[in-house]
Chain A
Amino acid sequence: MCCEPLRALHFFSPVQVSIMQRPRLLLIPILLLLLAFPGSKGRYNDDFDDGEDLAEFDDNDFAEFEDMNEDLTAEKESAPPPRVSSAQPEEDEDEDEATVELEDGQDGFEDSDTQVPAHLQNSWESYYMEILMVTGLLAYIMNYIIGKNKNSRLAQAWFNSHKELLESNFALVGDDGTSKEAVSTGKLNQENEHIYNLWCSGRVCCEGMLIQLKFLKRQDLLNVLARMMRPACDQVQVKVTLNDEDMDTFVFAVGTKKAMARMQKEMQDLSEFCGDKPKSGAKYGLPDSLAILSEMGEVTDGVMDNKMVHYITTQAEKIESIHFSDQFSGPKVMQEEGQPLKLPETKKTLLFTFNVPGMGNTSPKDMDSLLPLMNMVIYSIDKVKKLRLNREGKQKADRNRARVEENFLKQTHAQRQEAAQTRREEKKRAEKERIMNEEDPERQRRLEEAAQRREQKKMEKKQMKMKQIKVKAM
């Protein structure tokens, strides 16, 4: 009977028992003591009932035990009430009963003056923080599903409205980049829950066109909350890469004032070739909200023909930036100190960034309004193919590019020299080490001699070169 509480604990591992049951373990000895005394009382009672040994026991003995019993109950009271509240019925019940059960309505020693501390109550109400956490997680998951579906619907709506135009202009619409051969998938490629790509190729005048639907992160609740403070809109980015013969050499950009200021600082080619501050496009009939960055006036005149101006004016609120460049290499890359800079690879590119109307509250119907912008893109591709600078313009452009290259080489000259010097020193050191490590003195001598001869030859070659240069200069 007294072993049963202990047996119950065997279901738990000893470690768990010690950690979980520490406050309750103290109960066990108390319970055992309590169990023992009602039993002993019974025994003594039986003996007493037998009657034969009555003379040995007198009232004092019982009084003794009764006192002890009272002491025990006093002890119980001083112990924390909840522990004892489960012990209380134990006392009242049969001593053989080993399981601890709290009777309904039994408050133990709880009365109106003492409150059970919250962390010792075992009701669900005390776990309100946990319930809050779980609710938050559920809300996050719900938002994830809803946001993901919304983005998916928007992407599909965009594709449905643009599919015809793209398929009539490009042989390959949709490539997921997995197969080595160009196979048209005819659908969007999902990169993310908020970014969808579409690669179109197979058109004369361009190498290919990559369209990126950069939606807002509707699937991320944090982002949704951040957007309540700072509204943003979905964007469609179109990047047309051209072959060398498809574009003359010029750099040009038009867009919102903010975008132009930012791009002039961030973009490698705009910062190098369009040094002047963004100019207003009012001269060409553009709205005041737009600004122009151009390599030279002739380029602006060439690009801003009537049709282009018409396109831009009617779609002004949707245009974030339009960037034509033969020296496009993306944003400026921060190089680490000491690393020799390499001239960045450039590609002839037309880059369009459009804002989807609705400022975040976009509906699939709004995607149709982006169709004229795609028409503008196609028109631009053909226009750029035809646009050729005149002789003066070409000379100016060539001079600009030569200047940029020279500046770059000058900046990196010191670094490149240093790098070459360190490489040479490293080589010499390695060779010397090899010679020193050579145990055979004969071989050592021979290697040293060979190294010396090589050095001599190098010096002679250098001297010859210097002489040749001098002769040429003369």
Chain B
Amino acid sequence: GGIFNLCNPRHFTIGIWPPSTESNPTLEDPTPDYMNLLGMIFSMCGLMLKLKWCAWIAVYCSFISFANSRSSEDTKQMMSSFMLSISAVVMSYLQNPQPMSPPW
């Protein structure tokens, strides 16, 4: 179109990304960090208070944190959170093999 020819495409500069004024991604979506923290808290509760439902919720929190995580985030953190929650579930069942009773 005519409008595009007004600006000569030969005289330009190329800038690389990200530019200096890039906002902190943590500020935009804190979900993975919260879920990570919640997962760890529930794991500890499940392990120390021997509550099976705590351990199961911890597993869910780890999964949710993983699903919402950014690609720049450390996989080691994710894996350790997973391992902690799964170990909480396993330990709860080793200590008390009886099935979990529903809250109602």
Residues of A within 8 A of B (CB): 16, 19-20, 118-120, 126-130, 133, 136-137, 140-141, 144, 169, 171-172, 175-177, 179-182, 190-193, 197, 199, 201-205, 207-208, 210, 217, 219-222, 241, 330, 345, 347, 378-379, 382, 385-386
Contact indicator A175/B16 (Cβ below 8 Å): yes
By a beta-carbon cutoff of 8 Å, the part of chain B in contact with chain A is 3-4, 6-19, 21, 23, 25, 56, 59-60, 63-64, 67-72, 94-95, 97-102
Contact between chains at A191 and B64 (CB < 8 Å):
no
On whether the beta carbons of A385 and B7 are closer than 8 Å, the reply is: yes
Query: How far is A345 from B15 in the complex, measured between Cα atoms in Å?
Result: 19
Minimum C-beta distance from B19 to chain A (A): 6
A203-B9 in contact given A20-B97, A181-B16, A182-B14 (Cβ < 8 Å): yes
Chain B: which residue is nearest A127 at the CB level? B99
State in angstroms the CA–CA spacing of A205 and B15 once bound together.
13
Which residues of chain B are near A19, meaning CB under 8 Å? 95
Q: Is the CB of A137 within 8 A of B63?
A: yes
| Complex contact A204–B17 (CB within 8 A) | no
**CB atoms of B67 and A219 under 8 A apart:** yes
Main secondary structure of the interface of A (DSSP, over half): mixed
CB-based contact B59/A204 at 8 Å: no
Do A204 and B99 have beta carbons less than 8 Å apart? no
- What A residues does B102 contact at CB under 8 A? 129
Q: Given A127-B99, A140-B60, do A204 and B3 touch, yes or no (CB 8 Å)?
A: no
14 A-B pairs with CB atoms under 8 Å apart are: A119-B98, A128-B99, A129-B101, A129-B102, A133-B59, A140-B63, A175-B17, A192-B68, A199-B16, A203-B9, A204-B7, A241-B15, A330-B21, A382-B3
Chain A residues near B16 (CB-CB < 8 A): 175, 177, 179-182, 199, 201
- Chain A residues with Cβ below 8 Å from B7 are 203-205, 382, 385
Chain A residues, Cβ within 8 Å of B97: 20
Which of chain B's residues have a CB closer than 8 A to the CB of A241? 15, 19
Instruction: Known A-B contacts: A180-B16, A217-B67. Give 19 more (CB < 8 A).
Output: A16-B94, A119-B98, A126-B99, A129-B100, A129-B102, A130-B100, A137-B59, A140-B63, A141-B63, A169-B4, A172-B14, A176-B17, A199-B18, A203-B9, A204-B10, A208-B15, A330-B23, A345-B21, A382-B3
- Across the interface, name the chain A residue whose C-beta is closest to B98: A119
Return the contact of A204 from the options B11, B23, B70, B100 (Cβ within 8 A).
B11
| CB within 8 Å for A201 and B67 given contacts A19-B95, A169-B4, A379-B3 | no
* A208, B17: Cβ atoms closer than 8 Å: yes
A382 touches B99 (CB 8 A): no
Nearest-neighbor residue (CB-CB) of A125 within chain B = B99
Is B64 touching A203 in the complex (CB atoms < 8 A)? no
Check if B64 sits within 8 Å of A222, measured CB to CB: yes
| Chain B residue at minimal CB-CB distance from A172 | B14
Question: Which among B13, B17, B25 has the highest number of chain A CB atoms within 10 Å?
Answer: B17
Bound-state Cα–Cα, A179 to B3, Å: 34
Q: Which 6 A-B pairs have the closest CB atoms?
A: A199-B17, A202-B14, A204-B7, A129-B100, A127-B99, A182-B14
Determine the chain A residues whose CB is within 8 A of the CB of B70 once the complex forms: 191-192
Instruction: Tell me which residues across on chain A come within 8 A of B4, comparing CB atoms.
Output: 169, 378, 382
